[in-house]
Structure 1
Amino acid sequence: MKTLLDKLYIENDLSERELALLLQNMDSESEKQLFEYSSMLKTKHYGKSVYMRGLIEFTNFCKQDCLYCGIRRSNSNAERYRLSKEEILRCCEEGHVLGYRTFVLQGGEDSHYDDSKIIDLIKLIKSNFPDSAVTLSIGEKSFESYKSYYDAGADRYLLRHETASKRLYEQLHPGMSFENRINCLKNLKKIGFQTGAGFMVGLPGQTNEDLAKDLVFLKEVKPEMVGIGPYIPHPNTPIGKNSGGSLEKTLIMLALARLLLPDVLLPSTTALGTIDPLGREKALNAGANVVMPNLSPTNMRKKYELYADKICTGDEAAHCRKCIEGRINRAGFEVDMSRGDHPSKQA
């Protein structure tokens, strides 16, 4: 399969059929070549820099009922919480002192945080920390809502498409529309957000053809950020007894995303560190260049349990900052605490 890899490295493009064939026939030699190519492309565009984002998980209420998610509406065992405006600002203050210049506000689709509350939060953060970027990850909204967030000063929006297979998407997301999800991403791009898409690897029923479809979708949408992580079962979900996604396959998908979108911002996720003690370092070597340590209050972190056995739930923010920086350095990379905008969006 080296010829297909060479073509992908040179042209940054393959057809859906070629990508599925590549995945089907991936062997250890091909993997090694793939990771070398992805590493070279990352170095070409970003050098040794790894950007740090401060993650604030501000609510675990959610109106959706996704079959894989630990904070799904029907999980009566979830201990629900919402951070107050003051608590969120304290997280930002602590993060700013620690050097963070991007704050990622992530939560379930919680109607308590209506547009007026989100807009107020954005304006307060941008006013108090004018040198910092604000990223939102709060699910599906209308075009008008997205536009109001952008006009208030939000810089980025993360909305993983989860899977580009309509069949698989609608199996896993009862009451949700695949077409609406895709339309939301297109609206975010149209408005001008630095937009993040992404998907899970190892979902029940997922095939190599489905994963190839994900990659082609990314190439078509051209998001500035792509979040790819393994599916990790949560016991209090309808599919919690299924096996999860593998580290190896997730790393392959990260590397392929880097080859298709050479200057993309590609996180090394906490989920990878959950399934392998060195998972995040391995992702950096496979082409990732972003990490998102947690700034949420430590007494709330275990409650934001999208999947089982999530790591770093008891660590103070300063410890997280120091720990992940040490891991990044030992892996041969350098921490970059700037805003870390996508090259196309830099002033």
Structure 2
Amino acid sequence: MTTTIDHITKQLDRLYNAQAPETGIIKNFIKAETEANTQLRSYANNVKQNHLDNYVYFRGLTEFSNKCSKNCYYCGIRAGNKNVDRYDVTDEDILDAVRFAHEQNYGSVVLQAGERSDKHFVERVDKLLRKIKQITNDEIGITISLGEQNYETFKRWFESGAHRYLLRIESSNKILYYKIHPKNEKHSYEHRIQALYDLKDIGYQTGTGVMIGLPFQTRKDLVEDLLFMRRFDIDMVGMGPYIEHQDTPLYKYRNQLLPQQDRFEMTLNMISLLRIIMPDINIASATALQALDPMGREKALKAGANVIMPNVTPGMYRNSYKLYENKPCTDEEAADCVSCLEMRIGLTGNQVGYGKWGDSRHYHNRRGR
């Protein structure tokens, strides 16, 4: 037993200290045995404590519209899904959600919606950003996750108050990317990559992420995803398990998928591996993890994640923003989450970073290089 633990620790030390991470070690840990999983996650949690701190940062999440112009094959709110009740949260309800997050001393909020780039949408977001800064006296951080936009729109939103942007690549493998997206101008792999470069150039704390356990995906793909994020020098990551949705084209491949428990374990391992090779970035504990395990988000915090996104969307809208099946907390209101989450985070040995923006330390480190 001791020999095995020593061997695992030596491999993780090599990974942590390497200038160029060894792909073989990463591949072996993505889908490992129980003992190796335990060691990996404990090691990653120690790396987090050494490079960051004991805080978990809250991002109050408002999913303010499920209207989307894209037709991604995995997504329940894709434009082609006619079974979705489409909605737009009113501006006042969005601002009320922000006020709630601010009053609860959350350090930041996240605005998320289906992907659109029409003039009305762009201007609406711009006004909301300015209003959020005004009503919170510039005391709350703002992350947005609103898909691909042109450079001018990204810059406009940045100047209006957003300073973090999450744009998930979903898969860094171009071939796989086009198996989960239509191959056309609206879903261009090259445009996605360019958008990430644009965000970084403008000055955003730039985030991306992938899905784990997709149809057609291999462990080699996941290794390359991690290396892609490291090469890109990303500041923050939100990645989670792929969970099928019956109203999507990928649903027909459900019998080819790994069991959900395997996807869950692999996601925790991906979080841990990324923490080890990128020690000072922000890593979110995805809500999708809770859909597969009641303690999924807490387990991710103990595996290296340091951000959690309590949903502050008004309860009447939550059930209509279902990117995947069995999404948790769709029958709750924002206030239901507060004490429960604080208690559960305490059980992980972390504490909530109330009132802190929780900016990516990696962002500040790379900007100072």
TM-score by length of 2: 0.89
Identity %: 42
Kindly provide the amino acid, as one letter, of the partner of residue 319 in structure 2.
K
Q: Distance in 2 between matches of 1:346 and 1:250?
A: 27
1:217 to 228, 233, 248: 228
1:213 CA displacement: 0.7
| Corresponding position: 1:276 with 2:293 | yes
Following superposition, the deviation at residue 177 of structure 1 comes to 1.2
Counterpart in the other structure of 1:133: 141
The answer to whether structure 1 residue 327 and structure 2 residue 338 are counterparts is no
d(CA) in 2 for partners of 1:332 and 1:12? Answer: 31
1:69 paired residue among 63, 75, 89: 75
Q: Of 135, 160, 170, which residue of structure 1 is paired with 2:168?
A: 160
Q: Match for 1:57 among 59, 63, 66? A: 63
Residue aligned with 2:281, SS: coil
Which one-letter code corresponds to 1:236 in the other structure?
A: D
2: CA distance, partners of 1:123 / 1:232: 35
The structural deviation recorded for 1:117 is 1.6
Cα distance, 1:16 vs structure 2: 4.0
8 Å CA contact 2:30–2:266 kept in 1: the answer is no
Q: Is the CA contact 2:29–2:269 (under 8 Å) kept in the aligned structure 1? A: no
Corresponding residue for 1:257? 274
1:259-306 Cα offsets, whole Å, 9 max, x none, are: 111011111111001100111111111101111000100000000000
| Contact 1:62/1:73, CA 8 A, preserved across alignment | yes
In terms of mean alpha carbon deviation, does 239-248 or 44-53 score higher?
Answer: 239-248
Give the match for residue 240 of structure 2: 229
What is the deviation of 1:334? 0.6
How much does 1:151 deviate? 1.3
Q: State the secondary structure of the residue aligned to 1:240.
A: helix
SS in 2 for 1:110: coil
Structure 2: distance between partners of 1:286 and 1:310: 22
- The answer to whether the 8 A contact 2:271-2:300 is kept is yes
CA displacement at 1:115 relative to structure 2: 2.1
| Match among 127, 149, 162 for residue 120 of structure 1 | 127
- Is 1:14 the counterpart of 2:21? The answer is yes
Q: Deviations for 1:70-102, whole angstroms, at most 9, x for unmatched residues?
A: 000111001100012112111111211111221
1:190 positional shift: 1.0
1:98–1:318: 8 Å Cα contact kept in structure 2?
no
Are residue 192 (structure 1) and residue 198 (structure 2) matched? no
Instruction: Give 1:78-117 correspondences, 5 Å limit.
Output: 78-111=84-117, 113-117=120-124
Determine the structure 1 residue equivalent to 2:4: none
Structure-2 residue corresponding to 1:40: 46
245-254 or 59-68: bigger deviation: 245-254
* Distance change in 2, residues 1:212/1:120 (3 Å): same
Q: Cα RMSD (Å) of the superposition?
A: 1.8
Matching residue of 1:341 = 359
Letter aligned with residue 339 of structure 1: W
Q: Secondary structure at the match of 1:235?
A: coil
Query: Given residue 155 of structure 1, which amino acid in structure 2 is its aligned partner?
Result: H
Alpha carbons of 1:165 and 1:17: their partners in 2 closer, same or farther (altered >3 Å)?
farther
Higher mean alpha-carbon deviation, 329-338 vs 130-139, is at 329-338
Alpha carbons 2:214, 2:242 under 8 Å: kept:
yes
115-124 vs 6-15, which deviates more? 6-15
Q: Which secondary structure state, in structure 1, belongs to the residue aligned with residue 49 of structure 2?
A: helix
Letter paired with 1:166: K
State the match for 2:313 in structure 1: 296
Q: Give the deviation of 1:36 after TM superposition.
A: 2.1
Aligned partner of 1:309 in structure 2 is 326
> Whole-Å Cα distance in 2 between the matches of residues 222 and 322 of structure 1?
35
Give yes or no for contact 2:238–2:284 (8 Å, CA) kept in 1: yes
* SS in structure 2 of the partner of residue 50 of structure 1: strand
Structure 1 counterpart of 2:155 = 147
On the 8 A contact 2:117/2:149 being kept in 1, the answer is no
**Contact 1:7 / 1:13 at 8 angstroms: preserved in 2?**
no
Number of paired residues? 346
Report the secondary structure of 2:210's partner residue.
Answer: strand
Q: 2:216 aligns with which of 180, 200, 205?
A: 205
